[in-house]
């Protein structure tokens, strides 16, 4: 195997305090040696290898871990977004619009669109990505989306309980039975996780508990959409059920924060969603100060957050959620890894995967300091599919 040294790294974030300064383990003037897909050495500049990439004094970080996306869908909802910017509120009802478009698009079209989005995710610096189903909402369509997600990433999530589809209008409990029975049976061989949108207008606490319980019984890990549009039972339910992560957390009561802080459930903030739906931003400072483990993810989807840029999300978190830049960097690396219960990704350490992002900037601070600027110079490695599915030669 050919070895590669990435040399002349001006600032290296390892996320291993034993390798460098502070909680992020920052090394100034560093090199990293990679053998195939594995990091073999992290140290001062000047190491030798078969090939050399000169980082030119730039900043290198672990590849970002995007722990919440909805990347398998067809169509877009730009007009809905425009109406929202003109004052119309977001209520999640547009999920049905994307469901209609997704159901009428063939597998090849969905796969090609997914590949394009994965390439975009890579350009944005993310090297691990979770992908949810949730725009099929029928047994056959959810099974197709689950297999597409699973072929693309090890972090595939079943979100049949995204919204009650039109044909089940007024029969939400019947739909929950379908999700917990035939639909779960059809997807369980594909996915690692199960998720529910626990929110007024989507699924209530009892329905969400039923879905999570069925998923747990099927051997899946648990995650939850909670407290996006208002206060509600979701966060407490997520903690009670031992979810790896409760996502959104835009509205957190003192009790929610206390429950999260005394659990190993991660609170995943999705600030691009709050930006795009004109919701208030969550008070991350209050959660972090209380001891809550936090992550930041993109929530890339065509309705509430059509971005794959975790740099943008970090800038929002620093500007509007009270997070420091270093907390935001941790939230998109080790935080995202914790939200997926992964200890291998989100750090640059010997024997770890060679998943790295190099900024066209000298320090991590530029991620928030230069919002909207495409700062990702190179992204190296990924544990999702990067070659288009039809092009495996
Ligand atoms: O996480 N809240 C539920 N699901 C997505 C939005 C989906 C949509 O509007 O299409 C979310 O924001």
- Is the Cβ atom of 215 under 6 angstroms away from ligand 1? no
- Is the Cβ atom of 98 under 6 angstroms away from ligand 1? yes
Identify whether the C-beta of residue 372 lies closer than 8 Å to the C-beta of residue 312: yes
pLDDT tens, 248-303? 999 999 999 999 999 999 999 999 999 999 999 999 999 999 999 999 999 999 99
Question: Cα(95) to centroid of ligand 1, in Å?
Answer: 7
- Is the Cβ atom of 81 under 6 angstroms away from ligand 1? no
pLDDT tens, 210-228? 999 999 999 999 999 999 9
Identify whether the C-beta of residue 55 lies closer than 8 Å to the C-beta of residue 357: no
Q: pLDDT band for 60, please (50, 70, 90 cuts).
A: very high
Please tell me the predicted confidence (pLDDT) of residue 284: 98
Q: Please give the model's pTM, rounded to 2 decimal places.
A: 0.97
Please tell me the predicted confidence (pLDDT) of residue 393: 53
- Is the Cβ atom of 316 under 6 angstroms away from ligand 1? no
Chain mean pLDDT for the chain:
97
Q: Of 38, 6, 17, which Cα lies nearest the Cα of 352?
A: 38
Percentage above 70 pLDDT, the chain: 99
Percentage above 90 pLDDT, the chain: 97
Question: Cα(92) to centroid of ligand 1, in Å?
Answer: 6
Q: pLDDT band for 391, please (50, 70, 90 cuts).
A: confident
End-to-end CA distance of the chain: 20
**How many other CB atoms are found less than 10 A from the CB of residue 391?**
7
Q: Of 93, 79, 8, which Cα lies nearest the Cα of 43?
A: 8
- Is the Cβ atom of 95 under 6 angstroms away from ligand 1? yes
């Amino acid at each position: 195997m050919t070895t590669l040294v990435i040399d002349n790294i001006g600032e290296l974030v390892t996320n291993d305090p034993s390798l460098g300064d502070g909680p992020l383990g920052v090394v100034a003037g560093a090199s990293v040696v990679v053998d195939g897909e594995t990091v073999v050495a992290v140290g001062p500049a000047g190491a030798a290898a078969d090939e050399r990439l000169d980082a030119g004094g730039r900043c290198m970080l672990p590849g970002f871990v995007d722990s919440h996306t909805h990347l398998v869908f067809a169509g877009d909802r730009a007009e809905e977004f425009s109406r929202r910017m003109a004052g119309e509120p977001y209520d999640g009802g547009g999920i049905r619009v994307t469901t209609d478009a997704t159901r009428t698009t063939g597998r090849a079209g969905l796969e090609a669109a997914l590949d394009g989005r994965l390439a975009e995710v890579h350009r944005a610096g993310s090297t691990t990505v979770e992908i949810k189903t949730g725009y099929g909402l029928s047994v056959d369509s959810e099974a197709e989306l689950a297999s597409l997600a699973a072929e693309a990433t090890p972090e595939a999530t079943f979100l049949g309980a995204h919204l009650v589809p039109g044909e089940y209008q007024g029969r939400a409990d019947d739909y929950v039975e379908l999700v917990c029975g035939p639909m779960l049976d059809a997807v369980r061989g594909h996915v690692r996780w199960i998720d529910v949108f626990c929110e007024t207008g989507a699924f209530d606490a009892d329905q969400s508990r039923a879905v999570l319980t069925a998923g747990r019984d099927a051997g899946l890990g648990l995650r939850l959409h909670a407290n996006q549009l208002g206060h509600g039972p979701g966060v407490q339910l997520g903690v009670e059920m031992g979810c790896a992560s409760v996502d959104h957390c835009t509205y957190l009561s003192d009790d929610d924060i206390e429950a999260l802080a005394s659990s190993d459930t991660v609170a995943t903030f999705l600030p691009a969603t709050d930006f795009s739906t004109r919701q208030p931003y969550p008070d991350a400072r209050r959660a972090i100060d209380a001891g809550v483990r936090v992550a930041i993810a993109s929530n890339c989807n065509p309705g509430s957050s059509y971005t794959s840029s975790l740099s943008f999300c970090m800038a929002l978190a620093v500007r509007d959620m009270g997070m420091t830049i270093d907390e935001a960097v941790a939230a998109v690396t080790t935080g995202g890894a914790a939200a997926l219960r992964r200890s291998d990704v989100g750090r640059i350490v010997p024997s770890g995967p060679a998943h790295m992002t190099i900024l066209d900037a000298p320090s991590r601070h530029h991620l928030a300091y230069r919002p909207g600027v495409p700062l990702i110079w190179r992204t190296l490695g990924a544990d999702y599919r990067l070659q288009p599915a039809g092009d495996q030669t």
